Structures are given as C-alpha cells and as structure tokens.
C-alpha cells in the first residue's frame, strides 16, 4: 500500500508546529529554538519527508537544474567531459540535464525555451554550431549570464569559455616532430568552420613557418575529427608524390583511422611515417603502435565548466575566474620516431 509522500503540513502537524517553522528548520535553522528544531527534525526523520522540488522551485522562481548541450553524445570524446561536469554538480543539488543537439532537431530554439520554461537555470554548451539568434534569444530572456561554453565556442560572442590550450598543443606537436628530425609535416584538420579546427590548424601553420619548414598546400588535409576521415586521409597521403614524413592529426580518432589506412597500404608507423594525435583518449596508450598525442584533461575541463557556471548562478564563491585555457601536455609514445634515413 503506497501512501502519498508527506508534505510540510504533515510534518507541521506531527511536530505540533506551523509549516512556517518547518520551513525555517529546513532552510534557516538558526531562527528556530533548539527544542522545536529537534522536534521538527524528529518528525522529518520518522516520516522520511523530503522537500517537494516543484513546489520549492515554483516559489523560488528557479529550476535547480542545468542543461548540457552535447553535439553528439555518441562520440566517446565527450564521455570524460560529461563525467567532469557531473562531478562538478554532484555535491550541489542541481540536476544535470543532457541533450544531444544532433538528435534533437529543435535544439536551436530549445535552449531559450528551456530557460523560459523554468526548466533550467543555466547551460553548458559543447556545441560551437549554435546559432547567434538562439543565443540572442537567451540573452533576451535574461539568461545570457548563465551560459558557459566548453571546448568549442562561437567566434565573436562573448560568453565565458573553458577550453584547452589548443594552439599550444599544436605547437608542442610540431616541435616534437621537428626535434625528431622531421621537416615534412602534414596535418589532418577538423571540420570546416569549427573553432577548434581553426585554432589547431593556424597554430600548426604558424609553428611550421617559424621553423622554416616546407608547406605545400596538399599537406593540409581536410578531416572532421572522425576515424573515417583519418582513414580517408591515408589514401590521399599514399598517393602524394612528395610525401610527408609525419602527420599531426586534429584528434586521436583521426590518427587511428590514419594509422589503419597507412598500415593497410604497407607503410609502417613510425618507421615510415610518424603520427601525432590530439586528445589522449583512453585507448591511445594501448593502440598499436601506442599513440604520441596531446593530452587534454577532459574531466578537468568539465569540472571547471561546472564550477564557472555554479559561480555565475551565485552558488559558489567567486574563485573560479577560469578564462585561462586548460594546459595541454605532450605524451610521447611509440607512433613517432625520427624520419626514414635520419
């Protein structure tokens, strides 16, 4: 037999006080005398009472929830980030909602609507393809201050963004290859228009220039962060007359695809071609060969995004300024070596 959950009125009755007093015990116990406080606490214990969130949220005009907008939940890259975000909110009583912008055809208008619905208090956006109008809509409803970008961001917009030091990562990769003796370095990019693509590619180009290395146009191969695009890039590279001796990939998955493709064509990694990735996903230490890559601390990034958002929601002491990029690290493994004949 299931009885309805106890309400604050029930507790008041059991404890012999008014609902007002019960509420005070819940939110500001100092206002209540020790005797009554204990009586109320006891009543709460014995009934297993819990505050009804809908009622509290309605009265307090808030949602007690945040939304995470993920471009494609299916991509393993996001799992570590989600873990970090989840961890960041675990100690608060915020609920964490998740939406896949790929699955949800209306995600664009959805964001502002979620604020308006009173469904969420804030949002962590991992998708750099959000339209400016969708963001304007959020600003219009007064939610502009409660949006934080993570990993990706939108050029020209002024939201806080937690991101890795993408440029430094690209530089580290190129310098590592250069130090090994490589002079012919190619790059498989991310998708066009993506801010990460740009950041990594531009830094890579700049560093290659700085080192006075050759820069034929076809050494910049368009990819999209997917393993398939890496595989496709392999065919392009094999077909080149002037073949690079090393390839910096915009993501580990791309590197794996590339290595698979090159291996199929009879090239050996790293003896014939060196490959560097970006991300350091779980697998990267155990691929064959183990992948040299740029580590992004994804969990840390998620955690920081959570902190920054909490800060903006007024839940956190203002310690988290968070505008400096999260440091990256070069992890040298077995997929890079001096070029052939060096």
Contact set with DNA (CB under 7 A): 4-5, 7-9, 16-24, 26-27, 31-33, 35-37, 49-52, 55-56, 58-61
Per DSSP bridges, beta strands 161-162 and 147-150 are parallel
Residue 337, contacted partner among a copy of itself, DNA, none, CB below 5-8 A by kind: none
Q: In the numeric block, which tokens belong to residue 8?
A: 């604050």
Give the separation between CA 284 and CA 293, rounded to whole angstroms: 8
Q: Cβ(41)–Cβ(72) under 8 Å?
A: no
What are the two backbone dihedrals, phi and then psi, of residue 54, each rounded to the nearest 5 degrees?
Answer: -60, -45
Residue 138, contacted partner among a copy of itself, DNA, none, CB below 5-8 A by kind: none
For residue 222, is the peptide bond before it cis, meaning its omega torsion is within 30 degrees of 0? no
* Residue 163 in the binding site for a copy of itself (CB under 8 A): no
Strand order in the sheet with 274-276: 220-221, 185-188, 246-249, 274-276
Nearest-approach distance from CB 312 to a copy of itself, in angstroms: 15
Among 83, 134, 167, 267, binds a copy of itself (CB under 8 A): 83
Give the separation between CA 184 and CA 230, rounded to whole angstroms: 18
* Residue 259 in the binding site for a copy of itself (CB under 8 A): yes
Residue 109, contacted partner among DNA, a copy of itself, none, CB below 5-8 A by kind: none
Among 134, 206, 260, 322, binds a copy of itself (CB under 8 A): 260
Give the separation between CA 151 and CA 254, rounded to whole angstroms: 18
Residue 26, contacted partner among a copy of itself, DNA, none, CB below 5-8 A by kind: DNA
- Burial group, residue 329, by CB count within 10 angstroms (0-12, 13-18, 19+): middle
Residue 193, contacted partner among a copy of itself, DNA, none, CB below 5-8 A by kind: none
Q: Which is nearer to DNA, 59 or 318 (CB)?
A: 59
Please list the residues that pair with 60 across neighbouring strands.
none
* Residue 54 in the binding site for a copy of itself (CB under 8 A): yes
- What residues contact residue 282 under an 8 Å CB cut-off, 6+ apart? 76
Element (H or E) spanning 67, and its range?
Answer: strand 65-70
Among 23, 78, 308, 339, binds a copy of itself (CB under 8 A): 78
User: In Å, how far from its chain's centre is CA 175?
Assistant: 26
* Residue 213 in the binding site for a copy of itself (CB under 8 A): no
Give the separation between CA 148 and CA 170, rounded to whole angstroms: 24
Please list the residues that pair with 161 across neighbouring strands.
149
Among 19, 36, 116, 181, binds a copy of itself (CB under 8 A): 116
* Residue 257 in the binding site for a copy of itself (CB under 8 A): yes
Nearest-approach distance from CB 178 to a copy of itself, in angstroms: 26
Nearest-approach distance from CB 318 to DNA, in angstroms: 22
Question: Which residues are at the interface with a copy of itself (CB under 8 A)?
Answer: 2, 5, 48, 50-55, 57-58, 63, 65, 72-76, 78-80, 82-83, 86-87, 90, 95-100, 103-104, 113, 116-119, 140-142, 227, 230-231, 253, 256-257, 259-260, 263, 281-283, 285-288, 290, 299
């Amino acid at each position: 037999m299931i009885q309805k959950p106890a309400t604050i009125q029930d507790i008041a009755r059991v404890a012999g006080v008014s609902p007002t007093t019960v509420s005070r015990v819940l939110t500001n116990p100092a206002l209540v005398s020790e005797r009554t406080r204990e009586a109320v606490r006891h009543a709460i214990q014995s009934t297993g009472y819990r505050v009804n969130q809908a009622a509290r949220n309605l009265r307090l005009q808030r949602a007690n929830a945040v939304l995470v907008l993920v471009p494609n939940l299916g991509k393993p890259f996001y799992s570590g980030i989600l873990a970090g975000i989840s961890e960041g909110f675990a100690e608060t009583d915020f609920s964490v909602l998740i939406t896949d912008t790929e699955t949800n055809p209306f995600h664009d208008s959805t964001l502002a609507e979620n604020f308006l619905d009173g469904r969420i208090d804030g949002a962590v956006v991992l998708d750099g393809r959000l339209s400016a109008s969708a963001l304007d809509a959020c600003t219009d409803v007064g939610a502009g201050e409660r949006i934080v970008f993570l990993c990706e961001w939108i050029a020209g917009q002024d939201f806080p963004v937690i991101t890795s030091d993408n440029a430094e990562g690209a530089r580290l990769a190129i310098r590592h290859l250069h130090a090994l003796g490589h002079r012919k370095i190619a790059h498989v990019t991310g998708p066009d228009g993506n801010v990460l693509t740009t950041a990594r590619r531009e830094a890579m180009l700049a560093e290659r220039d700085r080192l006075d290395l050759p820069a034929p146009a076809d050494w910049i191969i368009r990819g999209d962060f997917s393993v398939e695009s890496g595989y496709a890039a392999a065919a392009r590279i094999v077909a080149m007359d002037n073949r690079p001796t090393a390839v910096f990939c915009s993501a580990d998955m791309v590197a794996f695809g590339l290595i698979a493709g090159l291996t199929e064509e009879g090239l050996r990694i790293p003896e014939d071609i060196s490959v560097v990735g970006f991300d350091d996903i779980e697998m990267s230490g155990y691929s064959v060969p183990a992948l040299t890559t740029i580590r992004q601390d994804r969990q840390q990034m998620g955690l920081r995004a959570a902190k920054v958002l909490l800060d903006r929601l007024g839940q956190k002491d203002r310690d988290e300024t968070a505008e400096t990029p999260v440091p990256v690290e070069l992890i040298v493994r077995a997929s890079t070596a001096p070029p052939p004949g060096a």
